[in-house]
Amino acid sequence: MPPLRLSLVIPTYNESKNIGELVERLTALLDPPLGEGYELVVVDDDSPDRTWELAESMTARYPKLRVLRRQGERGLSTAVIRGWQMARGEVLAVIDADLQHPPEATVALWGEIARGADLAVASRHVEGGGVSNWSAVRRVLSRGAQLFGLLLLPSVVGRVTDPMSGYFMIRRSAIAGHTMNPLGYKILIEVLGRGKVRWIAEVPYVFRERTQGESKVTWRLYVEYLRHLWRLRVSRIPIERFIRFALVGSSGVVIDMGLLYLLSDPHTLGWGLTRSKLIASEMAILNNFLWNDVWTFGDLVVDQTGMRARGMRLLKFQLICLSGLFLNTVLLNVQFNYLGMNRTSKRANSSSAFAKMRSRRIHGCLVGYV
């Protein structure tokens, strides 16, 4: 089967009074710009009003209409994901079935996609957009939810004016290979949070009053929305990168302490403390830089691996570490030379006669080196 250009998914639950008009209007709108190149995919969760049956009966008249009846599963956004999984279009879209999303906006959305956008969102919050007569409570709840999303996920929720919109088109390539794991209603936030979306376009629409059937929005959805935000927030913490960073940092400590001992301890080279400290720390800095540049952040600098670029990064890293190195060396000297926190005092304090004898001998040569 040749790939289609557009697959428009329509999640339905008890929408038997709306589905007929919606399919008719969408077909009339999309046939001119898309011809045979699109499909409408109804995903119904076994509606008690048998919306799935009605939709199936319409497939004879509307050959571009496909119907999936889910049994034992419920949820708007999981229904949409399921629809996208079975869809054949290069561009995936979603629209509500209750005509609160005016079908006419699909043409403008498609226009933005055709111009090259990765994501085209129908928004109530751009010039020409709005809601018909929402209660003040619903306005506050919707804006409040948006604000909360901005606080928790600014780099995701802040990318569009209407992150709560359930009406948009996304290029399949922008979400291919990214596992979508939405909760509740807010599929757009999931797409923005997990997909690779560069170019975003927004078209205005007015969210109409529902004339047939009931909204399925309950308080539970607001709780699910908060859980969804949190789940996305956590998924964006780069755990693996953090672990790599911590491992590299620990290897730096081992090199720093190990070299300091090998260079300055009287039982080894017995070099001066400051010189040993500077060398040991510098080796640790170089170690941390190289491992972080190649391993921890390697994927972020794939196109800047030339010697010059790496050299510039090393220079910056070195400058940042300089103040720490200076502070470290001064503190070590103060502790060692003035606060008496040094090899002799530790050994002197240990009770065994042998230790006392040994420390008396070492103290002598250290003074010479410092």
Can you give the binding site for ligand GDD, defined by CB under 6 A?
11-13, 15, 43-45, 74-76, 79, 96-98, 100, 164-167, 185, 207, 215-217
Measured distance CA(184)–CA(226) in Å, rounded:
10
Least Cβ distance, residue 66 to ligand GDD (angstroms): 14
Least Cβ distance, residue 19 to ligand GDD (angstroms): 9
In the structure encoding, which two tokens stand for residue 154, read together? 């600014």
Specify the 3-state DSSP secondary structure of 126: coil
Measured distance CA(134)–CA(38) in Å, rounded:
33
Least Cβ distance, residue 9 to Mn ion (angstroms): 15
Least Cβ distance, residue 216 to Mn ion (angstroms): 8
Specify the 3-state DSSP secondary structure of 63: coil
Instruction: Name the binder of 202 from ligand GDD, Mn ion, none, CB < 5-8 A by kind.
Output: none
Instruction: Name the binder of 185 from ligand GDD, Mn ion, none, CB < 5-8 A by kind.
Output: ligand GDD
Residue with tokens 């170019």: 199
- Total residues contacting Mn ion by CB under 5 A comes to 3
305-310, long-range: CB < 8 A, 24+ apart: none
Instruction: Name the binder of 305 from Mn ion, ligand GDD, none, CB < 5-8 A by kind.
Output: none
Least Cβ distance, residue 282 to ligand GDD (angstroms): 56
Q: Which lies closer to ligand GDD via its Cβ, residue 41 or residue 79?
A: 79
Within 77-106, the residues that bind Mn ion by CB under 5 A are 96, 98, 100
Instruction: Name the binder of 184 from Mn ion, ligand GDD, none, CB < 5-8 A by kind.
Output: none
Q: Which lies closer to Mn ion via its Cβ, residue 142 or residue 318?
A: 142
Q: Which lies closer to Mn ion via its Cβ, residue 22 or residue 160?
A: 22
Burial of 148 (0-12, 13-18, 19+ CB in 10 A): middle
Least Cβ distance, residue 220 to Mn ion (angstroms): 16
Query: In this structure, are residues 7 and 41 in contact, taking their beta carbons and an 8 Å threshold?
Result: yes
In the structure encoding, which two tokens stand for residue 142, read together? 């919707």
Residues 6+ apart with CB under 8 A from 21: 99
Instruction: Name the binder of 289 from Mn ion, ligand GDD, none, CB < 5-8 A by kind.
Output: none
User: How many CB atoms lie under 10 A from the CB of residue 188?
Assistant: 25
Give Cα separations from 220 to 82, 116, 217, 270 (angstroms).
22, 37, 8, 69
Nearest 5°: phi and psi at 202? -130, 135
Instruction: Name the binder of 166 from ligand GDD, Mn ion, none, CB < 5-8 A by kind.
Output: ligand GDD
Q: The dihedral of CA 33, 39, 40, 43: what is its sign?
A: negative
Q: Which lies closer to Mn ion via its Cβ, residue 89 or residue 166?
A: 166
Least Cβ distance, residue 35 to ligand GDD (angstroms): 26
Q: How many residues does the chain have?
A: 370
User: How many CB atoms lie under 10 A from the CB of residue 126?
Assistant: 16
Q: Which lies closer to Mn ion via its Cβ, residue 31 or residue 209?
A: 209
Measured distance CA(68)–CA(72) in Å, rounded:
13
In the structure encoding, which two tokens stand for residue 328, read together? 């470290």
Instruction: Name the binder of 44 from Mn ion, ligand GDD, none, CB < 5-8 A by kind.
Output: ligand GDD
Q: Which residue is nearest to ligand GDD (CB)?
A: 166
Instruction: Name the binder of 45 from ligand GDD, Mn ion, none, CB < 5-8 A by kind.
Output: ligand GDD
Q: Which lies closer to ligand GDD via its Cβ, residue 39 or residue 190?
A: 190
Least Cβ distance, residue 215 to Mn ion (angstroms): 5
What residues make contact with Mn ion under the rule CB under 5 A?
96, 98, 100
